[in-house]
Amino acid sequence: SKLIVRCLLLVLPLLFTTMATSASSKLSKAVKQQYMDLPQGDQVQAMYIWIDGTGEGLRCKTRTLDSEPKTIEDLPEWNFDGSSTYQSEGSNSDMYLIPQAMFRDPFRKDPNKLVLCEVLKYNHKPAETNLRQMCKKIMSMVQNQHPWFGMEQEYTLLGTDGHPFGWPSNGFPGPQGPYYCGVGADKAYGRDVVEAHYRACLYAGVKICGTNAEVMPAQWEFQVGPCEGIDMGDHLWIARFLLHRVCEDFGIVASFDPKPIPGNWNGAGCHTNFSTKEMRVEGGLKYIEESIERLAKRHQYHIRAYDPKGGLDNARRLTGHHETSNINEFSAGVANRGASIRIPRSVGQEMKGYFEDRRPSANCDPYAVTEALVRTCLLNEESEEPVKYK
């Protein structure tokens, strides 16, 4: 028995070592709070947020306003150095930030603001990763159909060394099974982050509607919606920003990689629920089925739109295993989580409602995803390239 104890003492430190967290997270939050409690007068801090040149990363910086902005029109345009965000060359690096959506700031609290911006180049044309402008144009063409979206954002918590949060340093946790919607210290890894993020979203005004632990340990999901038109992309991007900021405070990392751990572990997607006014009323199933038929004829176009690398990221995830469809095949079915398109069982029974596109990757751009769905399902586009409208 003494030999067993000695062996355990040698092995346990190898299996369970301190999780790698950032140095910043170890700074005293109590000291910081002394300063955050200072009065700020009538002035307001506005944090401008934008998507960088990777199409995945978010950047931010803050400016002082003399009074609290009440509408987007109250917010001035700004600029930044695009050569440091993969968005321009150093010889012509000024890029413009154009405010588009405003939220309450849960970190600095009222009256301070978070401001989601579009990025324009020096010639005032959209930057390559500014997909919002075209998405807004497409949404305006179908506004009478009232397109609703709900997106299920999966993500994985990692240490700063890239190792999944809570996993043994030199091994793996037990196989998948007990973690989905799990309860308990041996099943739910990082719930504090999830709870903090949920409350931050509610405070900010993000239309978050739920959250749950996912199939792989340290993997979680939050849902945003229903949102109409362009609001879907705006609210999901701000929800992602809030998650990154919350994780920053805890000293860990949120990853939207669609397959963070190779092997027999679930990937991470961003299942997208979609409906129109016609689909949501009596007889709506007919319009749902018509949309699915159109999607079946345009599978490759959607695969290219559903991750920032034109399908390469999703190829690691959409294998036909781990609750995914095969990236090369289109399929649809009622309550089938192995299909490209899932019709919820309740929708099949009530003959109205919505459908779920399970193909978008966790790191998708929601502007690209929602635009693609509208183009195919509502504007009846059929070609492999998007139609250019005047």
User: Residue with structure tokens 């092997």?
Assistant: 263
- Nearest-CA neighbor of 320 among 329, 307, 311, 332? 329
The reported pLDDT for the residue numbered 2 is: 63
Question: What is the band of 75 on the pLDDT scale with cuts at 50, 70, 90?
Answer: very high
- Residue 334 · residue 387 · CB < 8 Å: no
Length of the chain: 390
- CA distances 103 to 70, 74, 385, Å, are 11, 13, 35
Over residues 303-320, the pLDDT tens digits come to 999 999 999 999 999 999
Q: Is the peptide bond before 111 cis (omega within 30 degrees of 0)?
A: yes
CATH topology for the 138-379 domain: Creatine Kinase; Chain A, domain 2 (3.30.590)
**Amino acid found at 310:** G
Which alpha helices (H) appear in 89-230, and where do they start and end?
A: 132-141, 191-204
- Structure tokens of 295? 């999607």
Residues 6+ apart with CB under 8 A from 190: 157, 165, 166, 218, 220, 252
133-167 per-position pLDDT tens digit: 999 999 999 999 999 999 999 999 999 999 999 99
Query: Looking at residue 109, what DSSP letter applies?
Result: -
pLDDT recorded at residue 3: 61
Query: Where is pLDDT greater, at 108 or 9?
Result: 108
Domain positions in the chain are 42-129, 138-379
- Alpha carbon separation from 68 to 63, 109, 115, 381 (Å, rounded): 12, 12, 13, 44
CATH class for the domain made up of 42-129: alpha beta
Q: What is the pLDDT of residue 284?
A: 97
H/E run at residue 284: none
Give the per-residue pLDDT at 90.
75
- pLDDT confidence of 23, banded at 50, 70, 90? very high
